[in-house]
Every structure is written in structure tokens, then in C-alpha cells.
Structure 1
């Protein structure tokens, strides 16, 4: 069984019921999520040995996050306990022409105050095959850029493949700081994952002939983006999710996987969204599973996009789909008919 280590922050997610706005809410649903934790849950659901590494407070609320990961089969043994608080984020789900909103309350969280001595990466990576992190983790500041760099160096020293989802978050850091820090991490990355805007925001590489607000996505523009990223950093593969935003409720969803000068594109799905938060993470989880399963590039991108397409139908951040369900959609069964 392949073993994957993911590293980042897990937070409590609080959202009003249904499609209520923040100002209408009299109570909030509490769940747990974070970019790398979401990937770990996807991989555990696919039968992989997935471990999540973070730092969490030792009190009961920190334990709630640990318990939620364990519920889905994620290995939590390398989670460090300490610090004072668990980060929070609030989600208001959009609908039709009203966009979703996210408000962070994560300053001073346990992971944001972590120090390099908290993590014994040589021990954490024993027996592992893959290491995954996102640009959100170094964006939390403090010692995390240094910790991520140490993790990447040790992962490569122990022969792991490394993936990174750029995941630029303007509420966490500036484009200039993101570009500087991420450029120092990218030489250790084998598989770079990005969305329609990340490469532009972080590295100034934009797709031509594309208007995201109008839902227009040009394939050739993204081939150019992937080629430039590969030339700059030496990635073995670049995966890009292609989201055509028709409205907050309806998107076109596809993806591209680029390697060795060749690009493979998935089918495009018209998605009616139940919850889009975590959609990119479900793509990353699907891609890692496919590549560790030795799928060829076309089959790998088809699986990753089908997995993330299905995630848009699931409430909250975790993608609770099986391999069989993803393969069914990737194989063309997109009718949504009742399975009896």
C-alpha cells in the first residue's frame, strides 16, 4: 500500500445552514477541514495509507479535529500537540450570481506558531512514497516557510515524490511574498498543481485568450503556462484545473496534465454546485492516487477531474467518494440516475 504524507493546517469550518447569509445566521454548522487534510481524507477513502501532519492544541477542540481525521482512516500519529488555538474559517455559500465568501480567523493558531524542532521529518517520512503540501502552509508565516523547506529537502533525500498545490490566498500574503517564498520551494517539487489564476498570481505567468469572469477557458493558453512553469522550475508534471464560472451555482469543470512537452485534457463537466470549497483539494487527491497507481497521463487527469467533479456535489470540504464511484464517472456514466 502506498503511503502519502500531507502537511498543513486543519481548521474548524463554521457555516450558516444551507444558503443563509452570515447576517441571517442564528447558528453555525461545525466541521473540520484544510487543504492538505482534505487531500489526506480523499486518499484514505481510496484505500491509500494517508497521514496528516500538523500542530494542534492539546485541548478538546484540537482533539475534535484529530477525531474527525481518524473517522475517515487518516493516520494522525505524527500530529504534534501544543499551542493555544485551532484556526477557524467561516463559509457563506453563494448561489446564482451571489459569490461564496470565506472569512478567516486563524491568526496565532497552533500551526502558525510551530517551530522547526516540532517535526522530525526523517522519522515522519520513514516508509513513505509521497509528500504533499500547498502554498497555504508557508503563507501562514512565522517559521512555516523554513519548516516547509526542511520537509521538502528531507522528502527528496529519502526518495519521496513531492507535490505542491500553489493555492494562492490573497488574504494570507502578497503576490510578491508568495512569489519569493514559493520560488525557493519549487525546485524540490515533482508535480505542481494550480488553478486558473495561481500561476499568474504567484509567478506572473498568465494564460492568454482566457476570461475567467466570462467562463472562457482557452486550452492553448494553459499549455503555455504549464510549459513556462516546467522550464522555470523543472517540474516532471504540471496539472491545472480549468474552471469556467457561469455563476456561483453552475460551473464548467475540466483539467489538464502536462509532462514531457505533451498536454492531456479531461472531458469538461457542467457542474451544478452543492459546495465548491475543497474542490481543488479533491482534484489533488485524485491526481496523487492516479499517479501512485501508475495511470498514464490521460487516465490520471480523467480520474482527478471526475473525482473533483463529484466533490462539488458533497457538503463541506471532504470528498467522500470511492474509487469505484470516480471510475464510473470517468468512464462516462454521468447521468446521475439512481443506483439500485
Structure 2
């Protein structure tokens, strides 16, 4: 089953042992990025997951492509060219000190990509699903046009399209995001977001949502999902529900809205190892559940369990099996040693 994701993969550098950047004299190295993380998840679930991007034709580009292949992701459609790969530095927080990200991604290969770099007729031939996020369009001048080309071909071929809104204030203003992203919504079947994404990118807010403290109001979440579904005719809306106690301890659950009804997952208390990529694991699990024909409640439980487990795994990519996810989703939450 062929699934295609499109976006940027970056080199990630993190100080070891929860050090701050100022303190460290070495960095742990890995690779990641929103759509790449989704592709890695789906590959591990046994799907033919293709990640599409542009990478420099140098050892760093080779290493990023190799990292993808290590996790089973197919790299057949990656364009090569440009001078550099994007980099991000991650200070992993602890207790009341939050994690911090510093980006060094200007003039990366994907940001300078051209429309002619991607043959979407070929890339999407035989695909069942296409996934993108709101991180990608603001990265480069032609990327909104490249995405528009992809979405039009996906629509012509009957490919299901998902979008994770993923609003990033460091990349563009909400006005810029709305100008680009709202026209894309006519092509989207499955929307993935949190409450802030929906407010900033789609301009829709609902009373009763507390963006500052993250206190949950289930009725308000159901109402906002119903509102965006009515406006854009989405088949599915998936929303992550994070309650932050500290940088180390969160409560985590999700909502899947389908057929006019909200479906809430179990709520997990998480002691975080690495939260980067958790939302992408939710997106990947929701895509997988949809392709496998899960009912709405099973989709919610599977996606919540997958993204809960990602918080315990260092790096952007997950290392999980279907069996591990299903075991947690079924209620095995004790974390007892398996012998």
C-alpha cells in the first residue's frame, strides 16, 4: 500500500544528558522533520512509505537519505541539488525548564526547490495517501506552488489527502498562513491539528478553549471539530490534547471526529524522554488506522497509544511495532518488565 509524504528532513543536533547548548562540547546526531517522521512511522507499520524532498548532493544529503532507508522509508523520488541541509539544535528540557529549538535552515535544498524537481504524476501513481504539513509551504518561494501541483494531481487520481496544520510562528504570520493554507483545504480529506493551529491557520476559534494552561474542555474541542468539518467538508478531524504539567510530565489524549461524532481516547500520564515527533506519530497512526479500516474509536485509541509511546523514544523517528501499540491501546499501561 503506497503512501507519499512531502516536506523537509533536517539534521538534528542535541546536547547529551539534558545539557544546555552553552554547556556542551558535543552533540548527539540524528535526522527528522514532520513529514519524514510520518513516513518513518508508516514504514514501520509495513506500508510502502515514500518520502519526497530535496537534499544536497553531498555526504550530509546521503546520510539523511540513508537514515530514512534505515527505517524502511523509500527514497526513490528525492530530488538532489542545492548547497545544504537544514539543521536544528534541540535543547531537551527537564522539569520546569522547557525544551528549546534553534533553527539553521535558511537556504536549505528544499527551500530552493523548483516545480520541475518533482514529477507528481509519477510520484503519486498508485498511491493511496498523500500527507503534508503547514511547516513546508513557508520554507521557500516555490513550495506553495509545488504543493498545489501535488494536491491537484492527488485530487485527479483519487488519492486521500491529509494535512497537519503545524503552525510555526517563526516561519510566517497567521495572515500569511491563512492566505496559503485555506485554499489548500478544498483538497484535504483528513485534518490533523491542535486548537491553536486551527485558530491561527484557519481563523476559527471556539469559546471555552484555554490555550495558555491547556485545560481540557471536551465539548469545546468537539465544537471546533464540528465547525471546521462543516466549513471544509473534512472526512476526519484529528486533534491532540496535551496537558502540560512540566517539561517532563504531561497528560496526553486525542480526539477523532468523524461522521458528526467526537471520539476521545484514553488519557495517559507521560514522563517524557523526547517529545519531538509525538504529533507526527499521532498523524501516522491516524493514517494507518484509516487505511486499515479501523472504526473511529479504535483509530483514536491506536493513535493516542502510538503518540504516547513516541514520548519515551529518543530521536524524531519512532521505533515501534504494531503489537506494542495495540498492547498499550488495550490497557496495558503498567510498564512492567517483559521477560
Scaled by the length of structure 2, the TM-score of the pair is: 0.98
- Counterpart secondary structure, 2:85: coil
- Counterpart secondary structure, 2:170: coil
Aligned to 1:293: 292
Aligned to 1:53: 52
Aligned to 1:23: 22
- Counterpart secondary structure, 1:239: strand
CA distance in 2, matches of 1:67, 1:23: 30
Please report how far the alpha carbon of residue 85 of structure 1 lies from its aligned counterpart in structure 2 after TM superposition. Answer: 0.5
Unaligned runs of 5+ in 2: none
Aligned length: 339
Scaled by the length of structure 1, the TM-score of the pair is: 0.98
Aligned to 1:335: 334
CA distance in 2, matches of 1:180, 1:21: 37
Unaligned runs of 5+ in 1: none
Q: Is the 8 A contact 2:110 2:140 kept in 1?
A: no
Deviation string 1:177-208 (CA, Å, 9 cap, x unpaired) is 00111101111000000023111121232343
Deviation string 1:285-310 (CA, Å, 9 cap, x unpaired) is 11111110000010011100100000
CA distance in 2, matches of 1:193, 1:130: 14
Aligned to 1:142: 141
RMSD: 0.9
CA distance in 2, matches of 1:235, 1:274: 34
CA distance in 1, matches of 2:23, 2:208: 40
- Counterpart secondary structure, 1:167: coil
Q: Is the 8 A contact 2:209 2:221 kept in 1?
A: no
Aligned to 1:110: 109
CA distance in 2, matches of 1:80, 1:181: 24
* Superposition map of 1:175-186 within 5 A: 175-186=174-185
Matched, 1:132 2:122: no
Deviation string 1:21-64 (CA, Å, 9 cap, x unpaired) is 11111111110000000000001111111000000011111000
* Superposition map of 1:87-102 within 5 A: 87-102=86-101
Aligned to 1:121: 120
1:195/1:305 CA distance change after superposition, 3 Å: same
CA distance in 1, matches of 2:195, 2:93: 20
Aligned to 1:268: 267
Aligned to 2:209: 210
